[in-house]
Amino acid sequence: MREHGSRNSAPYRRSLYPPREPTAQLALEVSGGHRLYVEQSGRADGVPVVVLHGGPGGGCSPAMRRFFDPQHYRSILFDQRGCGRSTPHASVQNNTTHDLIEDIERIREHLGIDRWYVFGGSWGATLALLYAQAHPARVRGLILRGVFLMTIPELDWFYNGGVARFWPEEWERFTGLIPEDERHDMIAAYRRRLFGEDRAEQVRYARAWAAWESNLAALESYGRSSGGSGEYARAFSRIENHYFSNRGWIREGQILAEVGQLKGIPGYIVQGRYDMVCPPIGAWSLHQAWPDSELRSIRTAGHALSEPGITAELVAVMEELKEIEHTNA
């Protein structure tokens, strides 16, 4: 394991490539009545990399294009089912992990790509691992940030009081909307309200759910997020709660149990030392079980993609892979 500190302290904006617009966009029809927003940027004949956003339900952002040298990479971003610019908005119908894995393959086939790098953080790391285990022949390498293995201990840490020991005031705000006799299962309690009949109530609880996660994502957090706009929060919170209520439709411990499927696939794991959302034990456990992986712990960072050290290290990984590709060309 390599632990990085001061050399990754450059401001966020300096470690990224300049902002750019997509070179191509499309609405891709997939199963179950869903339509995905998909965009590409960089070189049309560049080394392909697909970017998997977090949440579930977070959607992709323009900043995600900036991790990749546009003269070398062909980056593919898309909004997963029900969120961002994909439709139907905030829908959880026909919206499961297995559907998302099929969607990634649908995108790859539609774009005529044989093998690609898979870049994902938080839930995006979960999905990247599950996709690679299902389709190892299609993956050149995995670049992961803030590892989440979709296990009960991880969900209990975040929704049943573990992290509350560090953020009691935010926990009080999050739980204060729920009657005391329901607080033993916060995921279920919020589910009742996120999927209730009253849309205004859905939005109110959606913003509280989203704010709880947002306020703990960065190392230098001040607990000030309101959860974002009502429509964003509603999609994010309903979809995320839906996935967590169903434990991601995978067996407990499945990712580590099937880590052998990743044999021969290089992995680069970038993990914030003080990640309150996805504690480092997940990244450490994955690295220990996966011989082809490299763990890069960022000493002064939390969970967010925007953490300066995490941003810089992810860009550095993509630069290293670029050099490897040039050497092997």
- Catalytically active residues are 122, 275, 303
| DSSP-assigned beta bridge partners for residue 295 | 269
The structure tokens 């617009």 sit at: 21
**Dihedral angle over CA of 221, 226, 230, 234, nearest 10:** 60
Q: Which of 121, 116, 94, 123 is nearest to 36 (CA)?
A: 94
Sheet holding 293-298, edge to edge: 2-4, 293-298, 267-272, 139-145, 116-121, 47-52, 73-78, 35-42, 24-29
Q: Prior bond to 56 cis, omega within 30?
A: yes
Hey, is 88 helix, strand or coil?
coil
Q: β-strand 73-78 against 47-52: which pairing, if any?
A: parallel
What CA–CA distance (Å, rounded) separates 18 from 14? Answer: 9
| Sign for the pseudo-dihedral over CA of 100, 241, 145, 22 | positive
- Outline where the chain has alpha helix (H): 97-111, 123-134, 152-159, 168-175, 186-194, 199-214, 230-245, 254-257, 281-289, 308-328
Q: Prior bond to 88 cis, omega within 30?
A: yes
CB 216 within 8 A of CB 276: yes
